[in-house]
Amino acid sequence: MKYELGKFLKTCIINAGISQKDFAQKLDLSPTALSQIITGKVKPRQATVSKIMELLNLSPEDEQILLKALENYSSLPEDKSAPSDPIRVYQENRERVFRYIEMKARSISFNEEVECIFKESGLKYIKNYMKDGLVCDFLLEDERIGFECKFNATRDIEKTITTLKILLDNLELKKIALIVPLKSEISKSIIEDLGKLNISVLSLYELGNFFKR
């Protein structure tokens, strides 16, 4: 489904009970600059996208709709109307980038926890198995089972599912498993759908039991 950013933003702004002019002011944009974004003449900067999500208090589902709509803007020039003062850029991006760095650190720590379980299993495995430009976090070499780690399992789940299927189909794997901190973070329906694709979901605790099978 192709989402239209302009219609989506207009609807969200109306639902928020604010005028387009006032919304532009809150975004620190001129009404003209906001209009150019809505009409598809330019794409918003990442800092503007983050502000839009924050000001409109979007649900996770609506955030995904917004991000998908922005994909249709990828070939457009970026909005240059906002000030380029480095201090201002830092202030606008600090919180977003801080969250990114924090999430990256947690993801690295999670992958290290997973590797510890692999080492304790005594089984032969390859970390960051690569072939034809594709990479899988871990591979049980003898059994040809791949493993992908995902600390934040609910973030862009569609992208995660597509990634798993691509790896399964192109790395000559018999099976692939998604390793997450807590299995309860993913809905039962998604887990069932993944099972139909020969993709398993394992929590960190279940991974240890998997090696004891």
Using the Cα atoms of residue 72, residue 76, residue 77 and residue 82 in order, give the sign of their dihedral.
negative
Note the pLDDT tens digit of each residue in 142-151: 999 999 999 9
Q: What is the predicted pLDDT for the residue at 26?
A: 85
| Burial of residue 179, with CB atoms counted within 10 A of its CB: 0-12 exposed, 13-18 middle, 19 or more buried | buried
Q: What is the pTM of this model?
A: 0.61
Output the average pLDDT for the chain.
Answer: 85
* pLDDT confidence band for 89 (50 / 70 / 90): low
Note the pLDDT tens digit of each residue in 170-208: 999 999 999 999 988 888 998 998 999 999 999 988 998
Other Cβ atoms closer than 10 A to 188: 9
pLDDT of 137 higher than 60:
yes
* pLDDT confidence band for 1 (50 / 70 / 90): very low
In the chain the domains, ranked by start, together with CATH numbers, are 5-82 (1.10.260.40), 106-211 (3.40.1350.10)
Q: What is the distance between the alpha carbons of residues 4 and 68, in angstroms, rounded to a whole number?
A: 9
Bridge partner residues of 179 (DSSP):
149, 202
Q: Report helix, strand or coil for 23.
A: helix
